[in-house]
Structure 1
Amino acid sequence: MVERRRSLISFAEIASLAKVERPVATTWARRYIDFPEPISRDRGQPLFDSEQVVSWLLETGRGNADPGTLRAELALHSLSAWRDHLPASALVATLTSLICLRHHLDEPLRITSWDALVPHAARVDFDDAHLLAELSTLPTDTGVELAGLADDLIDAAYTASEAFEWVLDRCHQLGAGQMALDEPVPLVSQMLAQLSGAATLAEGSIVVIPYARTGGLLASVHEQAPEHSLLAADPDPAMARLIRRRMFVHGLTDLQFDVADGHEPNIDGWGNPDLVVCALPYEPAETRRAHSILTRIADLIDWLDQDRVAVVLGPADALAQPLAPHEDADLLRRWFLTEGLLKAVVTLPEGVFRHRPGYRTAVWVLSRTPEKRRTGLVMLADLSSIPISEQSVDTLVADVDIFRAAGWNEDRRHAVRHGVILPIQVLNDRPGTALTPRHRPRETRHTETVRERPARISELEIEFAKLMHQEPAELRVRAIERQGDQVVRTSVARMLKERRIRKIPGHRVKDEHLSADGELVVITPEEVLGRVPLGGHRIDLLAFTEAFERGALTRPGDIVITANPELGALVDLEGSSVVAFPARILRARLDAERPVRPRVLAALLRSAAAEHRRVEGALRVPRRLEELLIPELASDEAGRYDTLLAEIDRLGSLLRKQAATLAALDQLTAAGMADGTLTII
């Protein structure tokens, strides 16, 4: 019996696994005697056996993760225990081979001895093209344990294909990130597959995908059109073997796909391609040459017959950005236009390649159209300032689909949302010009929002006039120099002890909890310190109640304080807000013998904090907020000061509204003047 390799997990990882806040996991360990004991420590932090922890969570039902998710995360976390025992690339290769073998055998691997599994692998991979080499050299103990882990992954994922994708998604965490370094993010691969029109081709069409890397683009095309044959290639033999495994677990047979070890797919024997889809490999800017990039694309479209399509993702500096006029790259790029090959150019935002965030890319859609049917038009779309999302992808794909369905002609019934359709001659007459839209077409500029701008501007003018009439003639503070005895001092710590106020902790709000239009305002240290306005952070009521079982909202007059990154205090006049840790609440007790006035206390704390700022290089402020000494004002004096602060707040709010109205006027008029939809008379 092979001993199981333990996967260790920290309190933070337990909290993430169970979908709870970090202190909850610590409380479980302290409160429940049946919680697993730590196995070891790392720099003082206890580490637990992940399988024992997940078993405890499943038995007790604690946490917010469902059982299926817990089992899946346990199986994936167990992979990390192997990082010190196998090279990352070998671990991924071995595990994906075992998942593929499980798919071939259609039964759990653990029910068969390792000595019998290897001959099974030799039978299903008799020419050693995708998994035999990865499994035949494994020591028995390693093979048995990894086979069990592969079974666990498939059981948690329900299918071998889903388990395979999980492993590839964790490549970077396993230290094998270089495998997916030149692979577009999944949503972009799906976009390329949709732009290609693969789903509209006749059954059994041949799709060519060079530079396939881990096969993400193949998987996306297969998802769009599972009945097509796929021909791929990658110069790295290990990647080619991985792609074959990936295609097998996705249900393809060796009669439906072929993966070549090299730069070009094995087209001979399959027939002429109906479609070419590819992402050109990344090259550093220092060695990247636009002419060589364009030459590579010209070689790709040599495979295309009439009316066949190619979709190519490549560097924007070669495909879309300006080129030196009349030089080889410019002449070749304009050749694609004048020959009627280039149908659409789409400039994408940065981040298309997850691990190359500054790499700018563009997409070309090409088709070999007979001369008599050429329209002389090209679509230019610019998504460089629009995040890649399902909505933006759907909009782009619809634009290109309609352009293609009209015979690469403009459909007057449909306005291109993110670009323009131009005569090719306009671009050809401007050597070196960028293949990006200079401005949006009239149809997309004159939207309902644009048409309503003049009316909205008039409303803002009226609103500003009303606000101006609200301002009083003057503000009288009536402050004089204090005479007489020294002022009595107190502190927050003393007020807490005297039960004049009470302290309430903030909630550990995560970024994923926040939304732009949530019902509840979230007050973070940024709001307390005045660095961002209130309302900039929000959370949905449902998300708040689910994440914080005993979550509490502020009440009107609560003081929100923070000591990190600086000391600060803010009065929440409206209430019903969520305070985010490390900010906390000081709540005045109305039944106290000497009630605290929140505005006064907050103002005095801010003033005292200004004298004890954190110096550059220090980790903490020199004095805790609870220790700051502030004046203990007499009741009548505190009342007069509170009245003054209320008036200052009112005037400040009025000025902010005036400034916001002017900013809105500025933004609306500038937007209208910039896009040519407004004029000033």
Structure 2
Amino acid sequence: METFTETLRMTLSDVAALAQVKRPVVSMWRKRSSGGPLPFPTAAAHMNGVELFDADHITAWLQATGRGNNPEARNDVAVFARLAGPPGELPRDSRQTFEGLTALLALKVITGQAVGGSTATDLLDAADEADPDDLFLYSELEALGSALSGLASFADRLADSAFSAPAAFEKLLAHRFKEGLREQSDTALTDEALKLVGATAMELASTLDSRLLFVDSTPGGSDVMLSIVEQFGESRPITLLAADHHGSASRVARRRLAVHGTDSSPVKIDAKGAFAVSGPAVHVAQYPAPGNPALDTTGILNSIENIVLQMDDSQRAVVIAPARVLCDALAGEAGNLRSDLLRSGRVRAIVRLQPGLLRAKPREPQALWVLGPSFADVPIAERWTSVADLSTTPLTLDVSQDLISDVVASMGNRATIRAHSFRFTRLVQARVLLAGKGSLVNVPPAGSSTTAGGAESALRVEELVRLLSFRTSAPSGLPGVQPAVPGTGPRPTSTQELLTAGNLKYVKGIRIEETDLNRKAGSRILGREELMDPHNTEPRFITLLDFAAKYPAGRLTEPGDVVFCTSPRPAAMVDAEGGAVVVFPARILRIDRGDPGGLVPDVVATDISSRPPADKTWRNWRFRRAPEVQRQPLSNALARLQHEQAEARQRLNRLEELATLITDGVAGGSLTLTDPISIAAPAEGTS
């Protein structure tokens, strides 16, 4: 019989992963040990020009030399190696090794016996009995051929090393980024995201006062359900329903549920993706799913619609998908489809989450939809949805717990909502969500009113004007203020929406050699230093001749440009003069003069500088806008106040200099005080 140690092959990259070192380290080992007593093993085979090494020889060499950072390399080798076929055949790829090992682990759990030492015929007979309809493991074992017995022995060894077959299965699945498992790696969420979705689903299920039934109708989805099992499976019995989709990813999901010994059953999905589940249940779904990682926006919304269509008021659902689908601005067919889902009344909570929750796309933010009862007796115009924007909020334990508490409260009626103190979410009327064209999480809250705040602000403005008593001849130089009519002003809009509409233009900063800068004359330099501390940073310049000759692609600012940066924190300033050179990482947002869209440069700069330090996603920043008739009066008032601030800073500097001169002069013996000095009105000159 062919032994297992003769069936596993590894590339040099596999060796590096097994030894937990960088790939160049293995090449260095190979080169330096070539003339020593323990040379690196020679290649056992080649596939498409790539050297393949015997896994047993590699682990023996690692153990003998003490190389690498993985003392369990011999037990872990199957996770990183690929299965070779019978003599004379090319080695099997990593997918076949993965599928064979996971199938054997599932068979081991189902039969309750070791699979090693059995003949291939016995193993296939046991697989046929455990999986008579070939739904999740028979084909994978049959495809191994003569290598089945050897791999079975190693499956037992791997389970012993991981202390259990489920742990061994998860160890194999943890290496999703291996060649041939792209559908798994492209859709893998972080532990924080899985725990949030799982805990939310469990909390929703506990409010139904029935059996804990969870349904995942996505093709190949199992991460969220296993997160629920791991977090709560020991406290209460859980029943899982997985979709009966065909395909490798779905078979892996069914093997995974089997190896964890869950109480699971299939749910029938028709050709259009429709299905039916009766009674109280909580649906969980991640999009795109492993079985369809290329699913587009319309496909995701259609899949969510299939969940909504079969729901009744005794069911709940938690969906995690890219924020661009669930909450960011959408137009066309996809936008209409999402609006229809909102009109159903079942979308009870919308939460935009921070980037970094999808391992393969760490810069793509995710979002949650929580679905629940529609309250059909409430008119559509009066229905509400709770929304939250956690784009810059890490999912710490307290954040997750309070967010889940907010979401669960949003499932209730008006009395329940009034009794809950919301930390993150706020209520928005459904009609406002449907009327908006931007992000769903950045709309005004339901029942919001600025009347009281406007009246208080107007009184405070008048009081401050009197207290400041401007030194100009007209203390009333500022325009009068009065409360505005609520809801008459334009809503805040994101940078991307303004760029698309043409109200804003983005201009990149330029990289300039430090040797080309000077401290004397030329065009002003505006960079990160000037943005971080504009009043205390020593000015920098570059001569126009040098700039034009060495940086022909560079562009100067125009009056009113907003210069901003995102690191180390968001900061911005308005270049009122123009003609400056903006140095990367600083950049420019230029407001279109013909169609500003309600933007005022100073307001844009203020909105940027007030962003949280961790918020680097500048295209999602939202800017407040002023009504067209208020833009010029606001600009004039801000210019007047900035002039007063500059004079106040200059006066403060002079007072500080005066205090220093008097202190040093009298204490040092160079000055003598003869008469009291009026600090309030210093005389011109000194005698």
- 2:197 corresponds in structure 1 to 192
What is the aligned counterpart of 1:435 among 425, 436, 440? Answer: 440
Q: Specify the alignment match of 1:156 in structure 2.
A: 161
Tell whether the 8 Å contact from 1:39 to 1:48 is kept in structure 2 after alignment: yes
What's the secondary structure of 2:240's corresponding residue? strand
Give the match's secondary structure for 1:241: helix
Q: How does 1:542-621 map to 2 (within 5 A)?
A: none
8 Å CA contact 2:326, 2:367 repeated in 1: yes
Residue 111 of structure 1 aligns to a residue in which SS?
A: coil
Give the equivalent residue in structure 2 for 1:212.
Answer: 219
Distance 1:234 1:183 in 2: 21
The question of whether the paired residues in 2 share the 8 Å contact of 1:259 and 1:265 is answered with: no
In structure 2, the partner of 1:2 is 2
Structure 1 partner of 2:407: 400
**Paired residue for 1:310, among 268, 293, 317?**
317
Shift of 1:116: 2.0
Q: What's the CA shift for 1:100? A: 1.0
> What is the letter of the counterpart of residue 258 of structure 1?
P
Match of 2:73 among 70, 74, 97: 70
* Residue 204 (structure 1) shift: 3.0
Change (3 A) 1:33 1:260: farther
Does the residue aligned with 1:217 lie in a helix, a strand or coil?
Answer: helix
Moved more, 397-406 or 341-350: 397-406
Gapped regions of structure 2 (runs ≥ 5)? 449-512, 516-567, 575-585, 587-604, 613-622, 625-637, 646-687
User: What amino acid is the match of 1:135?
Assistant: L
The separation in 2 between residues aligned to 1:152 and 1:408, in whole angstroms, is 58
Partner of 1:245 in structure 2?
A: 255
Match of 1:26 in 2: 29
Map of 1:39 onto structure 2: 42
> Quick one: which amino acid aligns to residue 5 of structure 1?
T
Measured at CA, do residues 670 and 9 of structure 1 come closer, stay the same or move farther in structure 2, by a change above 3 Å? same
The Cα shift of 1:670 comes to 6.9
Q: Confirm or deny: 8 A CA contact 1:231 1:265 kept in the other structure.
A: no
Provide the rounded CA distance (Å) in 1 between the counterparts of 2:181 and 2:187. Answer: 13
Change (3 A) 1:107 1:437: same
Counterpart residue number, 1:79:
82
Q: Does 1:221 align with 2:231?
A: no
Residue 133 of structure 1: SS of its match in structure 2? Answer: helix
- Report the Cα offset of residue 247 of structure 1: 0.8
The question of 1:258 aligning with 2:266 is answered yes
Q: State which drifts further: 7-16 or 186-195.
A: 7-16
Q: 2:288 touches 2:295 (CA, 8 Å); kept in 1?
A: no
Q: Which runs of 5+ in 1 are unaligned?
A: 443-528, 532-659
Note the C-alpha offset of 1:249: 0.4
Counterpart-to-counterpart distance in 2, 1:102 and 1:672: 59
Q: CA offsets, 1:247-287, max 9 Å, x none? A: 1101124xx3225465689977x742411111244799999
Alpha-carbon contact 1:377-1:424 (below 8 Å) kept: yes
Q: 8 Å contact 2:349–2:387 — kept in the other structure?
A: yes
Partners of 1:209 and 1:232 within 8 A in 2 = yes
The alignment yields a C-alpha RMSD, in angstroms, of 5.1
Instruction: Read off the aligned partner of 1:7 and give its amino acid letter.
Output: R
Residues 469-524 of structure 1: CA deviation (Å, up to 9, x unaligned)? xxxxxxxxxxxxxxxxxxxxxxxxxxxxxxxxxxxxxxxxxxxxxxxxxxxxxxxx
| C-alpha distance in 1 between matches for 2:269 and 2:343 | 35
Give the one of 269, 279, 284 matched to 1:272: 279
Aligned to 1:245, what secondary structure does the other structure show? helix
How much does 1:36 deviate? 5.2
Give the letter for the 1:86 counterpart: R
1:236 matches 2:246: yes
Secondary structure of 1:7's counterpart equals strand
Work out the CA distance in 1 between the residues paired with 2:155 and 2:39.
25
Q: Distance in 2 between matches of 1:321 and 1:664?
A: 25
Q: Distance in 1 between matches of 2:115 and 2:254?
A: 20
Aligned residues of 1:210 and 1:233 also touching (Cα < 8 A): yes
* Alpha-carbon offset, residue 398 of structure 1: 4.5
Q: Distance in 2 between matches of 1:221 and 1:437?
A: 31
Matched, 1:132 2:138: yes
The aligned counterpart of 2:662 is none
Contact 1:234 1:262 in 2 (8 A): no
* Local SS of the residue matching 2:310: coil
Change (3 A) 1:130 1:413: closer
CA deviation vs aligned residue, 1:117-143 (integer Å, no higher than 9, x gap):
222222222333322233235422x11
The aligned runs of 1:652-671 (5 Å cut-off) are none
Give the fraction of aligned pairs with identical amino acids, expressed as a percent. 24
Give the match for residue 173 of structure 2: 168
What secondary structure is seen at the aligned counterpart in 1 of 2:82?
helix
SS at match of 1:107: coil
**Residues 26 and 99 of structure 1: CA distance in aligned 2, closer, same or farther (over 3 Å):** same
How high is the TM-score relative to the length of structure 1? Answer: 0.54
Residue 344 of structure 1 pairs with residue 349 of structure 2: yes
Is the alpha carbon distance of 1:50 and 1:368 closer, same or farther for their aligned partners in structure 2, counting shifts above 3 Å?
same
Rounded Cα–Cα distance in structure 2 between residues aligned with 1:122 and 1:303: 35
Contact 2:281–2:316 (8 Å) recurs in 1: yes
The whole-number CA distance in structure 1 between the counterparts of 2:318 and 2:42 is: 53
Distance 1:674 1:100 in 2: 50
CA distance in 2, matches of 1:18, 1:330: 46
1:358-384 Cα shifts (integer Å, max 9, x gaps): 766532111114346898432222244
